Copies of this chain bind each other. A is one copy, B any other.
Amino acid sequence: MDTFNALAEPNRRRLLEAIRQEPCTVNMLVTRSDLSQPAVSKHLKYLREAKLVVVKPDGQKRWYSLNPNPLKEIEEFLEPYRQLSLNRLDALEQQDSSAIQKLTQIN
């Protein structure tokens, strides 16, 4: 499971959001999601494979915390696209709001 695929699943993004806010045990994530415990464990397995989380065992509990480093790959992919939409829209916003309508209704 690579970074892109790990982020492609909405439940996995939500789990990662929770872990980003603070390290979590599996049970904490089960409580905060509407997923079963095995489902959470499986998603965590994929997040581990993608190295987006690291685990620290503590007795029977496992503390999952974020490793944001792999996200750089996504950032690097997005980099060449940044100049395009965002700046282009920003520039338009300063002059012609009808042109923005035209552009944004594509999306």
Contact = CB atoms under 8 A, between A and B. Distances in A.
A86 to B, nearest CB: 7
* Identical subunits present: 2
Contacts of A81: 20, 66, 68, 71
Interface residues of A, number: 31
Contacts of A78: 71, 74-75, 78
Interface in A1-49: 4-5, 7-8, 10, 13, 17, 20
A72 B51 contact: no
Interface of A: 4-5, 7-8, 10, 13, 17, 20, 51, 54, 66-72, 74-75, 77-78, 80-81, 84-86, 89, 103-104, 106-107
